[in-house]
Amino acid sequence: MSTTISALSSSSINFAEFVRLTLPSETLTFCNASAPITVDGITFEGLSTLLQIGEIQKNVKANSADLQLSLTGIDPSTVALVLGAEIKGSQVEIWRGFLDSNNQIITTPTLQFFKRYQGIVNNVAINEDFNDEIRQRVATCVVTSASMRTVLENRSAGMKTNEQAWKVFYPNDTSMDRVAIIASTYFDFGKRPIGGGQNEVTDTTQVEVNNNTGSGG
């Protein structure tokens, strides 16, 4: 179903990208506007040009393209905090919001705030450069996000066929109790069985069958 974006019919189009990064311990919200913007009670910190968002593939069919977020201007002394924030595996959501003349989200006739992307962080990199103007090192954090399609393609489905995993779902079922024993047993398929069988027949065994049915004298 198509979405009507009223802001596009305006003579002056001004928009910003909004990012929400959901970490295990906290949620970070920021945008590339010059000042903080509040949408539905959520305040997105304005990072202006310090936030760079890679190209979002706009195809009719879902694709597996990755997306990069670059956060520049990080103090090198806080790099350890960034690396220890457990960013990998966090959820990334990106919206595009259209702004009015006061740099606030347009709310009439409807809220002009639209979701563009959702994915999972799969890599984090830190780059450091020396800035000649401020005469100090500046760190850049590059976050690579995989689309939800990539996550689903790499998802491991099914159930392990061992006793421990099976008992979690079926505590009273004994179907998998002998898996460990069978897994460590050597089977030489196609070879004549050696010993242990109840009906063992060797090459030196001679079986004589006397059938006296119908025999004379």
pLDDT tens string for the chain (217 positions)? Answer: 556 677 777 667 888 999 999 988 889 999 999 899 999 889 999 988 888 888 877 766 666 778 888 888 877 777 777 777 788 888 999 999 998 888 888 888 888 899 988 888 988 888 888 777 777 788 888 889 888 777 677 666 677 778 888 888 888 988 888 888 888 887 777 777 666 545 544 444 444 444 455 545 4
d(CA 70, CA 156): 30
- Would the CA dihedral through 96, 97, 101, 106 be positive or negative? positive
71 contacts 45 by C-beta, under 8 angstroms: no
Note the pTM of the prediction, 2 decimals: 0.64
Check residue 60 and give its pLDDT.
Answer: 60
Check residue 61 and give its pLDDT.
Answer: 64
Check residue 208 and give its pLDDT.
Answer: 45
Torsion angle (degrees, nearest 10) of CA 159, 118, 22, 108:
-140
Check residue 62 and give its pLDDT.
Answer: 63
- Which helix (H) or strand (E) is 150 found in, with range? helix 148-153
β strands within 23-112, DSSP E: 27-31, 37-39, 42-46, 51-53, 67-74, 91-98
The strand pairing partners of 74, in sequence order, are: 139
